Amino acid sequence: MKEHKTGAIGWKEGKVWFLDQTRIPAEQRVVETNDPSVLAGAIRTLSIRGAPLIGIAAAYGVALDFISSPMSRREDLPSRLARVQALFASTRPTAVNLFWALERMRETAESFSGNIGNLGEVLLNEAVRIHEEDRLTCEQIGIHGAALISPGMSVLTHCNTGALATGGIGTAFGIIRTAWEKKVLRHVYVDETRPLLQGARLTAWELTQLGIPSTLITDSTAAFLMLQGRIQAVLVGADRIAANGDVANKVGTYGLAVTARYHAIPFYVAAPTSTIDSTMKSGKDIPIEVRDSAELLRQGERAIAPIGMEVYAPAFDVTPNELITAIITEYGVVSPPFGSHLPTRQSSLENFKK
């Protein structure tokens, strides 16, 4: 395969390219690499971020490992797979799409019975398939979610769930985009999303690129907007959804859910079914990534807190299912009670082409 491109990542002539999201909005820097460890490092440092995109990147990374150094002995496959899977599995613990994609790539490799030297190309085809499925998945999430937006609504979103976080138009952002194109959405309020400002840097940038009317606010302003009646729905994404419908998402999501419930505002979660983890009974089981204290103590080279200050910096929090109005996946809108009503992952590519 010579080239595959959709959104913020792709394949071109033996290399993976990606948009370095730490540079946006000041610069749109594209990085190309044929080194899987560079790709893993980009996930770890948030140059590549967003649960679905992390999974796509890991899939490309596995393929890259086998293409850059083709195998000659099938008996080496278990150790080779274990090594590359460990490389990517160690990057970020909360987003389950990462582990789902790695498992799918492992199954593809182990089921391949042809010439072992051709395994890299087979894995690349599977990575592209995962990428393409996510593109279709985002379109379906957008369609299902936009049906919940009444004409003239203004919505609030948190963090970034658009094309920079997925293989397509986005999850929660995909709903926003689709609703705007259907001319039912009036306005979007964007939380800055402290401390790394994914809302301010990324979501605001995507909204501006598309010409969707939007207003950037501090995280602490959201409650006051709800009190004023200026927000009619909250739309967020997810990094992992437990079997009971509890949702792990960017830290600050739980607070928004509590505030939305107090003000009787619908709180919607949008995510592909690859984000649903049936092995986690509840949100209490979900591993929560804690980030480096420097992300709170500094802005670039400038210290913004006293040296030696104790820091607690979880990247995510957990929203209990009872605070969630509905979960929107590629297969439709699921209302409480969740549990067995949550769909399981099928092949989006086959289902959506029927």
Q: Mind telling me the catalytic residues?
A: 239
Cα maximum dimension of the chain: 66
Query: Do 268 and 235 meet the contact criterion of CB atoms below 8 Å apart?
Result: yes
Query: Do 94 and 286 meet the contact criterion of CB atoms below 8 Å apart?
Result: yes
Tokens describing residue 198: 């994914």
SS in 3 state form for 197-253? Answer: CHHHHHHHHHHHHHCCCEEEECHHHHHHHHHCCCCCEEEECCCEEECCCCEEEECCH
**H helices within 69-165, ranges in order?**
77-89, 96-111, 119-146
The continuous run of DSSP H or E covering 303 comes out as strand 302-303
Q: How far apart are CA 238 and CA 318, in angstroms?
A: 10
Helix, strand, coil distribution of the chain in percent, nearest 5: 45, 20, 40
